[in-house]
Amino acid sequence: MSERRTLRLYRMNGGVQRRVVSKDGRNNIRIDNIDGMVKLYLHDIWTTVVDMKWRYKLTLFVSTFLTTWFFFGVLFYLIAMANNDLNIEQASNHTPCVMNVATLTGAYLFSLESQTTIGYGFRHISEECPFAILTLVFQLVLTGLAEIFVTGAFLAKLARPKKRAETVKFSQLALVSKHKGQLCVMVRVANMRKSLLVQCQLSGKLFFPDVTEEGEKIQLHQESVDFQFDSNEQCPFLVLPLIFYHVLDERSPLANLTAENLKVRNFELVVTLNATMESTASTCQSRTSYVPQEFRWGYEFKPLSIGTHRGKYVTDFNYFDEIQLSSDSLLLQEPRNEKLLLEEEYSKD
């Protein structure tokens, strides 16, 4: 079954399935009507700037320079105006605060040259005006801090582990089949880069509506779903695509899942891979989610074609999302209607 067919099956019956987490791992929750949201964002300005979209970040970067150049250019122009430097008929012994600045454009160019350290030549500051010297010092200190902040935000956004997490691939479908005699939920995970991910751990969260014993309705109740690799709790070596298993035993929140009620259940399984990048030793997290329409009962993943070429293993990802019927015939049988079972018991009696 190809990925295109998988997406068609997911979108059947019209409508879009609501999710807590999208298939590409993004948070799919919108927050509205919070008083003081702007103030809260400004309190943590670093995170706000790092999380900005690139178009806003580039706008901030450009506007930071243009604003500071123009602002201090106006200050130098006002200083020149107060010192009577703009008067054409100046006394022969008059010393301007900033030499060769007679217009706002000249003051702007002096501010730009000072901040970008490409001066001084034609325009330069004199020793006769302490206020202009203090303004210049204040400009260099303030704009230096602003440049460090904006540049650091750029580097932080580029170096975020989130970008590394985008090269982790999850299977489009979650399968229910038997593995080593136990009924399991299976997902396939692959690392798409040559650099390794170490200390990999796959975990899950099951979101579903629930009602407590006191009658409280919880729209998104959470239960932990543990995944293992080949029934082994040790960290796997994610150098080739691997299949992770969750055993549907009595401890599982999906213990009562059957082929029949799978069609009417309302839940979302969020799967998260936590790993450490070998190149930087930073922790990255990648996630996806599965809704009931993306579960297949009685299917298993087709084995990937792994060959060799010039002494290297080669994995064919054309078969990454391909599935096949399980070899267990009991899983392939259609679930029997409870009404028919009762009628059979009644006829026996």
**Cα 6 to Cα 15, 20, 160, distances in angstroms:** 16, 20, 31
Contact 199, 276 (CB under 8 A): yes
Token readout for 318 is 């054309």
Round to whole Å and give the CA distance between 166 and 198.
16
If we measure between CA atoms, which residue out of 6, 30, 33 comes closest to residue 19?
30
**How far lies 263's CA from each of 12, 35, 175, 232, 293, in Å?**
13, 41, 14, 30, 7
Mean pLDDT over each residue of the chain, to the nearest integer: 80
pLDDT tens for residues 258-317? Answer: 888 888 888 999 999 988 887 777 788 899 999 999 999 989 998 887 767 677 777 778
Contact in structure between 116 and 147 (CB atoms under 8 Å): no
**What local confidence, expressed as pLDDT, does residue 14 receive?**
44
Domains of the chain and any CATH numbers:
3-24+168-348 (2.60.40.1400), 37-158 (1.10.287.70)
Per-residue pLDDT at 141: 93
When pLDDT is cut at 50, 70 and 90, the band that residue 176 belongs to is: very high
Model confidence band, residue 20 (pLDDT cutoffs 50, 70, 90): confident
Q: Out of 32-36, 75-79, 224-228, 327-331, pick the least confident.
A: 327-331
The pLDDT assigned to 57 comes to 87
CA distance 76 to 132: 7
Whether the CB-CB separation of 204 and 226 falls below 8 Å is answered with yes
CB 255 within 8 A of CB 249: yes
Give the mean model confidence (pLDDT) for residues 125-144.
89
Other C-beta atoms lying within 10 Å of the C-beta of residue 300:
21
In the chain, pLDDT over 70 holds for what percent of residues?
84
Q: Which amino acid belongs to residue 152?
A: G
Q: Is the pLDDT of residue 15 over 70?
A: no
pLDDT tens-place string over residues 91-102: 667 788 888 888
Global pTM value: 0.68
Q: Could you give phi then psi for residue 193, rounded to 5 degrees? A: -110, 160
Q: 289 φ, ψ to 5°?
A: -140, 155
Task: Find, among 202, 203, 201, 182, the residue nearest to 247 by Cα.
Answer: 182
